[in-house]
Structure 1
């Protein structure tokens, strides 16, 4: 199963350059890296990145994250994937821009 992480441009560029990250400021504050499933990603973008330009969507294989990936109840009682370790650049399956069109982020059509 694929899971997704949304980064602002500077966060993505830093991760790409360094090869690993503990996530965005909210992740550092919460003590884990927030991910979303394909069905949760658009709501995550709308709630936490409304109107933001220069976003990137990163895809990861959940099963490859090992025991450090926990599914925990969050927004609306839904279970969200949370990673309790640094993620590495080699775990990224693909990266795609999340353009803002008419106030909404446009997600890739082939998200699984």
Structure 2
């Protein structure tokens, strides 16, 4: 279900707090769902795309990568995916938060 939660979207509003690298740095990213009706199938699909784009950008390492760097990218994406799943579940479970929020923050 959440695999597509992370596909690319050009309209994603991203704020990367720290770039991913082979170093074990904390990474966080904010994903906006402003302007989306995430209660609808199409709106939620667009939100999933924004999340995937955010995770890919936050965990990216440009250029050639060592095995350690590739593991770091994999671990970063796994951690961010778990964070996204929890944030979305919390958002959808809380009508108050859903009504007042327009973004979620993912941490990896």
Output the TM-score relative to the length of structure 2. Answer: 0.31
**Structure with a larger share of its residues in helix:** 2
Give the TM-score normalised by structure 1. Answer: 0.30
Bigger fraction of residues in strand: 1
Structure with larger Rg = 2
